[in-house]
């Protein structure tokens, strides 16, 4: 009978849901488990849910759990109030659930923090039960999502004993969303925040956004662009923000806003925004009071001041310290934080942009108020496909430093490119800064374990938009997922996260999982190879950052050009940042600085970041620099072709809609890889004056052709401010 | 057994598809029919599909049909090649299908045109079969959608005999979509045309767009904004357009583009765009050749020239006649058409904008090349909630006139307002112009039956965007649907179309259908009442056209202000367009002009369109004009409250997601109705100097408050061109 039902169900399934596989469901798919043995095992282990009390978060946890279990197991899951049978799952905190308190000891609870959870198989009244508990309800919700993940990935659920807590306190998405719903560097449509129809219209998407984030432990969202608009701080807009905050609250997500430094002038009617001016200080204090009266758990303010034309304290002769502390003082009574971005550069050309943030911020270490974070991009330039870690990590032991990763693929092929970014995030997090001797990894700085920060935080610049699949490229979802999982636990491997995501998003079929995992794990290196190999950086097209533009020069600022960074000439290529050059390498601790400074010891992936090298320099491979450069570009493009072959062979393993979606995008990516390769090799050849090595196919267009390409309507372009 | 399966199916159904009811499926829903008696009747009548040949359109028809039938009937539908049993449905044309030719006579086929279809129950080899046939494959596809509609609306399918042909040849959507994916007057997100990823990435949405349009008989789409961008005519963009055309072709849909008159300068490198210049003429001829080499069935060009700052022939001293004929000559060898918009107004202030199109175009009647349409908005101003019909209808018997309706709700509350527009379209189409005596309705002009036009056409300005539900407000879908159905057959009643749409989109439950139908049928009158009652027009907010702005004055042009149109003063209100005023009324045929000119005979809904009337004028209701104005505004807002009550009572009749979607939007609409009412009544009160009639509640804000409201990021704002 059961078999028959399933057969019927499956046959109808694909017929009636046209476009059901549009990717909207992300990794939160609760379709019936197709492996009969595993299904029967789960069905035999689980049959009901027990909660001893209600709360907004507990109700959400119970409903999500019931929905998930019924979908995955294809059986009715009752909400029971007694445990007179095996197979009950009990949800609750130790504080409010008597049953849980009687099973899990206080010392076990001490192993988790306020957001952590414990999942445990236990006996209760001679019945086998499973406990999902936390110190707070939000821990229970996180535990529920973890348990569902176990089922989605066909994991063993016998004798469970899971104890898990997030290593970092604030795990935040940064949306670079404008109030007109365009997204700066967004490649997945409009902003999901429908400001015009808020607060009256609550798009169901807000709830699914909260579910998705809670499922991976993200607990904050800064919903407006760092190039901020003061309007969002007006009362009418704050009512809209409140509506979002009210939805997100039971999912453990706090709302943050970006503060435009000149808001006291623009919406406050003041004549100045000088951070030392009393009226200005009071304006911000009153504004904070207003915000917290509407949103008692408001997270705080994210600020980009005096960078790329944004207003700031320096307009009044004040420092970043004074600017940040003024805002922090306003938020302090309400426990709000200031996330002050270190991505700043003066309007004058710096000697080396890689040095500027360090020079500006290091002197203030220890002087910020306790609710100030300095939010630092992973590398010292700007989210390039590969950068060495930012030298500020380790340089400010007295100041909480917050990591800013970019999830949206501004410089990594935007929404036509499959590139899994966990390896990039991990590469940065696991690098040793030697700040306090060997083992002082970036991760230990961020999670506070090295310097015992009072605050810890990590931010990811979101790739989410109104596209039905959220991220434009369905594989873009993996980067949102990976960011959340690493923010919770940076010790997870890229392999483990990919494995989870593939199984939850597509299939548990071992061949599919293995092959797609292989594609994902090599995909970022592939992009580096065909875009910016060997430490090259900032070679992209002007303005839109789409495609290659190594020839970009003669702009308002030299450090907005490509030639500033690659410095190719008849002798060689690369930016000398050693002692003979800009000296930026000396911002690192000696162990790191020495390694990067030495041509012999510098890892090949950073060579041209730190050194200007002769075209004929012999690398370890035995190839000259010119040959290796060509080889990497060609290897990168070739790898995309191989990705396509692998994907094509998986046609029958998943639904046609998502298969075709990825297939078409991989074909575009292949064209783009060849475009990058050809444009860069032809351009650098004008300096090296050497042939493309034998055996590599000749570019099918001229350099002039590539230079002539124009993309006036490439998506995600930054609003002009000059 | 069957019952059991269904039970299981239904219980799972709502659990696993989170957000399944997001409106994406439009009216093309093929869920299992819930009425057991009807289901069994259909299951007993239909069991297989037979097609005797393949073609792209036939393959689509057969697949859609199979998908639809299997979903609706919950049984396997085989594709058979023989009719050895009852219940086979045979698809094909008389030309290619021998079976069909043996059943349907030539004289029957003569009753349909090339796009028409015949559906007929018949006996073949002693078996009962159903024929769905046409002269061309596209007719078969239209027939398939018609048949599915019969099932979706639970219609009787015994002894079918349906003969149907479209009354109008070109049934076209006009997308005001910009190449940067913003949509002018779009309230449902970005443009669905993903130019950046075309031609490599084919969004599945393009196919669903084509399906939806084919299902209601729309056979053309002008995919770019009338405020045109020449870039779309460059070769790279034409390759993208070709990709769309290739997808749409088997669905019977041709692609049209908008032509920027200055394209020869902007992308052609010429020094002029003068339509009499030989180089310019040749440039357009070559461009046409290029387009048709890529897209052999390209539909033609839609042109907005010399209006609202757009370039045009008048920049060179030429006329609309010369401009249109120049483009028409380029397209003529390929059977392409020019759709030349009559929505033109000079940059100088006219005496009365309502007169300008008539004055500019009437003199050229009969002088355009045979492939030129003049495309005219339904009314002489600009898509107001109510306008009298455009006086050009009937005034150009020698020139094919094409109707332009607006589906997107620019002036009708945008995407927060439920307003069903079939009654508005019908009101215009059924009006008698008296052009050739009584019975000369606008519809008969448009469908060519009055003047025997060689070309006939109708256009609807699309309300489609990237929102998952396509139109922002799920009821916006009904206007897309109604436009298509009326374009096919303008004799269909608003009631019939609403009935179909409700049943296909929501439910066949009689109570639900009746109550929602009542809401829809009165909804446009409701909007007129609370926005622009009694013939008032153009009272909306500046620029964004959102909300009330009767106080708008002192702009670049007087005819962009509200005061220009309502002319309220201490004596009265309204625009005198009779002989004592602008005389615009005399553009109508005498029977019409006399009716509108007479205060006694002029329908109340047009009073203030044609007359400046005393505040104390006694209307038929016995109320004074001032009282009636107030009464209408209050009645309009009250009607929205009643719509909410009706909708709330239907909570259990449909899915929670769409129920809540509409409920939230109705609540917003109610607030907006009160806003319109209060703002307008308070504003006009400053002229009438009279009290709001007793019994009507006092506005809760002051006029100053309403005047102070600002909406800097209201959606759909037109790009600035001044």
Percent of chain B at pLDDT exceeding 90 = 92
Q: Which of B177, B410, B525, B627 is catalytic?
A: B410
Nearest to A715 among B12, B30, B196 (CB): B196
* DSSP-derived pairing of the beta strands B457-461 and B572-573: unpaired
3-class state of residue A182 by DSSP: coil
Give me the mean pLDDT over the A2-30 stretch.
59
pLDDT of residue A527: 98
User: Which residues in A lie closer than 8 A to residue B208 (C-beta atoms)?
Assistant: 18-19
CA distance A177 to A189: 11
* Partner-chain residue, chosen from A19, A76, A200, that has the shortest CB–CB distance to B668: A200
| Contact list, B77 vs chain A (CB under 8 Å) | none
Please give the residue of chain A at the shortest CA–CA distance from B22.
A204
The tens digit of pLDDT for each residue in B388-444 reads 999 999 999 999 999 999 999 999 999 999 999 999 999 999 999 999 999 999 999
Q: Which of B67, B202, B667 sits opposite A15 (nearest CB)?
A: B67
Which whole number is the average pLDDT over B14-30?
Answer: 75
Of B19, B76, B204, Cβ closest to residue A204: B19
- B569-627, pLDDT tens digit by residue? 999 999 999 999 999 999 999 999 999 999 999 999 999 999 999 999 999 999 999 99
Q: Kindly report, residue by residue over B93-117, the tens digit of the pLDDT.
A: 999 999 999 999 999 999 999 999 9
Mean pLDDT, chain B, rounded, equals 94
Interface mutation target, options B16, B75, B177, B417, chain A, most CBs of A under 10 Å: B16
Residue A14 has pLDDT above 50, yes or no: no
| CA A606 vs CA A673, B247, B673: distances in Å | 21, 46, 63
Q: How far is CA B349 from CA A186, A255, B64, B276, in A?
A: 42, 50, 53, 28
Report residue A349's pLDDT band, with 50, 70 and 90 as the boundaries. low
Which residues of A are designated catalytic? Answer: 308, 382, 410
Closest-approach residue (CA) in chain B for A716: B180
A180 touches chain B (CB under 8 A): yes
Which two structure tokens, joined as six digits, stand for A414?
A: 């935007």
Look at strands A372-377 and A254-258 and give their pairing: unpaired
pLDDT at A5 over 60: no
Closest A-chain CA to B232: A713
Peptide bond between residue A417 and the one before it cis (omega within 30 degrees of 0): no
Instruction: Choose from A6, A15, A415, A472 for mutation: most chain B CBs within 10 A.
Output: A15
Decide: A637 and A677 in contact? Cβ < 8 Å: yes
Of chain A residues 638-677, which have a CB less than 8 A from chain B? 657, 660-661, 664-665, 667-668, 671
Question: Residue B84: its pLDDT value, please?
Answer: 82
Are B416 and A22 within 8 A, CB to CB? no
Dist CA B689 CA B616 (whole Å)? 11
Tell whether the model's pLDDT for residue B8 goes beyond 50.
Answer: no
| Per-residue model confidence (pLDDT) at position A134 | 97
**CA–CA separation, B25 and A104 (whole Å):** 48
d(CA A461, CA A342): 15
Of the candidate ranges A234-248, A345-359, A531-545, the one whose mean pLDDT is the lowest: A345-359
**Are B180 and A24 a contacting pair at CB < 8 A?**
no
CB contact under 8 A, A196 and B715: yes
State whether A416 and B665 contact (CB < 8 Å).
Answer: no
Question: Mean pLDDT over residues B627-632, rounded?
Answer: 98
**Comparing A642 with A2, which gets the higher pLDDT?**
A642
* Best CA proximity match to A174, nearest among A166, A186, A165, A189: A186
Which residues in chain B (140-179) have CB-CB distances under 8 A to chain A? 179
pLDDT of B19 > 90? The answer is no
With CA atoms as reference, the chain B residue closest to A74 would be B12
Choose among B9, B15, B671: nearest Cβ to A9: B9
3-state secondary structure A190-240: CCCCCCCCCCCCCCHHHHHHHHHHHHCCCCEEECCCCCCCHHHHCHHHHHH
The rounded distance, in Å, linking the Cα atoms of A329 and A318 is 16
Q: What is the pLDDT of residues B545-566, one digit of tens each?
A: 999 999 999 998 899 999 999 9
Å between A180 CA and nearest CA of chain B: 5
Separation in Å, CA B263 to CA A160, A586, B240:
69, 56, 18
Per-residue pLDDT for B489 more than 70? yes
Cβ separation B208–A22 shorter than 8 A: no
Q: Which of B308, B591, B657, B707 is catalytic?
A: B308
The pair of structure tokens assigned to A297 is 């758990």
- Which of the four pLDDT bands, split at 50, 70 and 90, describes residue A15? very low
Residues 75-134 of B with CB under 8 A from A: 76
* Confidence band of B718 (pLDDT split at 50, 70, 90): low
pLDDT score of A20? 73
Number of CB pairs < 8 Å for A and B? Answer: 143
Please work out, in degrees rounded to the nearest 5, the angle formed at the alpha carbon of residue B243 by the alpha carbons of B241 and B246. 110
Tell me whether residues A416 and B197 touch, CB distance under 8 A.
Answer: yes
Interchain contact B234–A (C-beta under 8 A)? no
Q: Given a cut of 80, is residue B639 above it in pLDDT?
A: yes
The mean pLDDT value for A439-458 works out to 95
Q: How many angstroms separate the Cα of B58 from the Cα of each of B55, B135, B169?
A: 5, 13, 21
- pLDDT tens for B248-277 read 999 999 999 999 999 999 999 999 999 999
CA–centroid distance for A368 within its chain: 26
Under DSSP, the state recorded for B575 is -
| CB proximity B708 to A under 8 Å | no
Average pLDDT over residues A174-195: 96
Q: Is A135:A116 a contact under the CB 8 Å cutoff?
A: yes
Q: Which residues of A touch B205 (CB under 8 A)?
A: 19, 468
B contacts of A207 (beta carbons < 8 Å) = none
- B182 pLDDT band, cuts 50/70/90, is very high
CB B602 within 8 A of CB B611: yes
Question: Would you call B200 and A664 a contact, using CB atoms and an 8 Å cutoff?
Answer: yes
DSSP at B372: E
Q: In sequence order, what DSSP letters do the residues of A421-440 get, joined into one string?
A: -HHHHHHHHT-B--BTBTT-
Mean pLDDT of A696-700: 96
CB contact under 8 A, A415 and B661: no
Share of chain B above pLDDT 70, in %: 96
Give the distance from residue A173's alpha carbon to the nearest chain B alpha carbon, in angstroms. 22
- Structure-token pair, residue B420: 């069903």
Contact B18 A28 (CB under 8 A): yes
Does the pLDDT value for residue A4 go beyond 70?
no
Mean pLDDT confidence for A507-521 = 98
The pLDDT assigned to A721 comes to 37
Say whether B22 and A204 touch across the interface (CB within 8 A).
yes
Task: Please say if B382 is a catalytic residue.
Answer: yes
Name which of A360, A402, A399, A358 is nearest A381 in CA terms: A358
User: Å from A387 to nearest chain B CA?
Assistant: 28
B515-544: per-residue pLDDT in tens? 999 999 999 999 999 999 999 999 999 989
Mean pLDDT of the region A155-164: 97
What is the SS3 assignment for A50?
strand
* pLDDT for the residue A197: 96
A window 527-556, beta carbon within 8 A of B: none
The whole-chain average pLDDT of chain A stands at 94
Q: Kindly state the average pLDDT of the residues A93-101.
A: 93
Mean pLDDT lowest among A7-11, A643-647, B183-187, B452-456: A7-11
CA trace torsion B153, B156, B160, B165 (10° rounding): -30
Nearest to B664 among A18, A202, A416 (CB): A202
A661·B11 Cβ contact <8 A: no
Minimal Cα–Cα distance from B669 to chain A, Å?
Answer: 10
The answer on pLDDT for B1 being more than 90 is: no
DSSP state of B540: B
Which residues from chain A sit within 8 angstroms of residue B467, using beta carbons?
466
Q: Span A665-688, mean pLDDT?
A: 98
Q: How many CA atoms lie within 13 A of A33 on its CB side?
A: 24
Q: pLDDT tens digits, residue range B643-681?
A: 999 999 999 999 999 999 999 999 999 999 999 999 999
On whether any CB of chain B is under 8 Å from the CB of A721, the answer is no
| ipTM for the whole complex | 0.94
Among the options B382, B436, B614, B707, which is catalytic?
A: B382
Instruction: State the Cα–Cα distance between residues B157 and B165, nearest whole angstrom.
Output: 20
**How confident is the model at residue A82, as a pLDDT?**
78
Scanning B60-79 for CB atoms below 8 A from A yields: 67, 70-71, 74, 76
Calculate how close chain A gets to B7, using CA atoms only, in Å: 10
Residues 195-224 of A with CB under 8 A from B: 195-197, 200-202, 204-205, 208
B20 touches chain A (CB under 8 A): yes
Which candidate from B9, B202, B657 shows the least CB-CB separation from A204?
B657
Q: With CB atoms and an 8 Å threshold, state whether A204 touches B15.
A: no
What's the pLDDT at B721? 37
Q: In sequence order, which residues have a C-beta less than 8 Å from that of residue A101 and are 6 or more positions away?
A: A94
DSSP 8-class letter at A624: B
Q: Compute the distance between CA of residue A174 and CA of residue A259 in angstroms, rounded to an integer.
A: 13
Q: What is the pLDDT of residue B477?
A: 98
Helix (H) or strand (E) holding A257: strand A254-258
Which of 286-325 (B) contact A at CB < 8 A?
Answer: none
Where residue A214 falls (left for φ over 0; alpha for ψ -120 to 50; beta otherwise) is alpha
Residue B630 is predicted with a pLDDT of 98
The pLDDT, as a whole number, for residue A6 is 39
**pTM score:** 0.96
Residues A251-304: pLDDT tens digits? 999 999 999 999 999 999 999 999 999 999 999 999 999 999 999 999 999 999
For residue A124, give the H/E element and its range: strand A117-124
Residue A3 has pLDDT above 50, yes or no: no
Half-sphere exposure of A689 (CA within 13 A, CB side): 5
């Amino acid at each position: 009978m059961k078999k028959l039902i399933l057969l019927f169900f499956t046959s109808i399934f694909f017929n009636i849901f046209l476009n059901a596989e549009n990717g909207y469901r992300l990794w939160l798919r609760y379709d019936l488990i197709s492996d009969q043995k595993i299904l029967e095992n789960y069905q035999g282990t689980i049959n009901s849910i027990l909660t001893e009390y209600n709360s907004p978060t507990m109700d959400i946890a119970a409903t999500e759990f019931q929905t998930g279990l019924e979908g995955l197991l294809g059986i009715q899951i009752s909400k029971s109030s007694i445990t007179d049978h095996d197979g009950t799952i009990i949800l609750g905190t130790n504080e409010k659930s008597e049953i849980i308190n009687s099973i899990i000891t206080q010392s076990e609870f001490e192993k988790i923090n306020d957001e952590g959870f414990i999942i445990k198989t236990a006996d209760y009244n001679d019945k086998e039960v499973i406990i999902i508990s936390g110190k707070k309800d939000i821990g229970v919700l996180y535990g529920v999502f973890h348990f569902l993940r176990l089922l989605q990935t066909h994991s063993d659920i016998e004798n469970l004993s899971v104890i898990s807590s997030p290593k970092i306190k604030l795990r935040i998405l940064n949306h670079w969303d404008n109030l007109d719903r365009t997204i700066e560097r967004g490649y997945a449509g409009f902003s999901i925040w429908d400001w015009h129809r808020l607060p009256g219209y609550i798009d169901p998407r807000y709830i699914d956004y909260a579910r998705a984030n809670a499922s991976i432990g993200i607990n904050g969202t800064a919903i407006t662009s760092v190039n901020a608009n003061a309007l969002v701080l007006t009362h009418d807009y704050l009512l809209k923000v409140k509506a979002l905050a009210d939805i997100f609250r039971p999912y453990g997500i706090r709302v943050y806003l970006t503060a435009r430094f000149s808001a006291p002038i623009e919406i406050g009617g003041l004549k100045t925004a000088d951070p030392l001016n009393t009226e200005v200080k009071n304006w911000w204090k009153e504004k904070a009071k207003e915000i917290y009266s509407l949103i008692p758990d408001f997270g705080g303010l994210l600020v980009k001041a005096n960078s790329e034309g944004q207003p700031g304290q320096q307009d009044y002769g004040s420092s970043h310290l004074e600017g940040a502390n003024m805002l922090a003082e306003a938020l302090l009574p309400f426990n709000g934080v200031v996330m002050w971005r270190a991505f700043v550069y003066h309007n004058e050309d710096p000697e080396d942009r890689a040095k500027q943030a360090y020079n500006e911020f290091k002197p203030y270490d220890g002087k910020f108020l306790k609710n100030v974070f300095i939010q630092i991009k992973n590398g010292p330039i700007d989210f390039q496909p590969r950068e060495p870690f930012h030298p500020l990590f380790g340089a400010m032991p007295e100041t909480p430093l917050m990591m800013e990763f970019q999830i949206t693929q501004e410089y990594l092929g935007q929404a036509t490119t499959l590139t899994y970014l966990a390896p990039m995030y991990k590469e940065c997090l696991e690098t040793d800064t030697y700040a306090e001797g060997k083992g002082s990894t970036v991760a230990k700085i961020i999670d506070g374990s090295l310097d015992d920060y009072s605050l810890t935080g990590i931010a990811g610049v979101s790739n989410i938009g109104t596209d039905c699949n959220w991220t434009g490229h369905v594989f873009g979802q993996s980067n949102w997922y990976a960011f959340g999982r690493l923010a919770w636990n940076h010790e997870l491997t890229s392999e483990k996260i990919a494995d989870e995501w593939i199984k939850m998003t597509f299939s548990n079929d071992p061949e599919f999982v293995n092959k797609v995992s292989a594609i994902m794990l090599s995909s970022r290196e592939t992009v580096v190879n065909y875009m910016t190999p060997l430490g090259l950086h900032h070679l992209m097209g002007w303005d839109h950052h789409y495609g290659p533009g190594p020839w970009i020069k003669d702009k308002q600022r030299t450090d907005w050009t490509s030639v500033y960074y690659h410095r190719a000439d008849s002798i060689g290529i690369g930016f000398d940042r050693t002692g003979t050059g800009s000296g930026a390498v000396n911002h690192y601790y000696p162990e790191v600085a020495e390694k990067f400074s030495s041509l012999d010891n510098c890892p090949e992936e950073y060579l041209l970041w730190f050194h200007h090298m002769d075209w004929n320099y012999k690398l370890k491979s035995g190839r000259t620099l010119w040959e290796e450069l060509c080889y990497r570009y060609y290897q990168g493009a070739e790898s995309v072709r191989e990705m396509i072959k692998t994907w094509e062979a998986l046609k029958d393993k998943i639904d046609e809609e998502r298969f075709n979606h990825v297939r078409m995008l991989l074909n575009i990516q292949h064209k783009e890889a060849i475009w990058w390769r050809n444009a860069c090799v032809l351009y650098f050849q004008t300096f090296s004056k050497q042939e493309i090595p034998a055996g590599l196919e000749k570019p099918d267009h001229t350099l002039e052709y590539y230079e002539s390409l124009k993309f006036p309507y490439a998506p995600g372009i930054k609003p002009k401010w000059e």
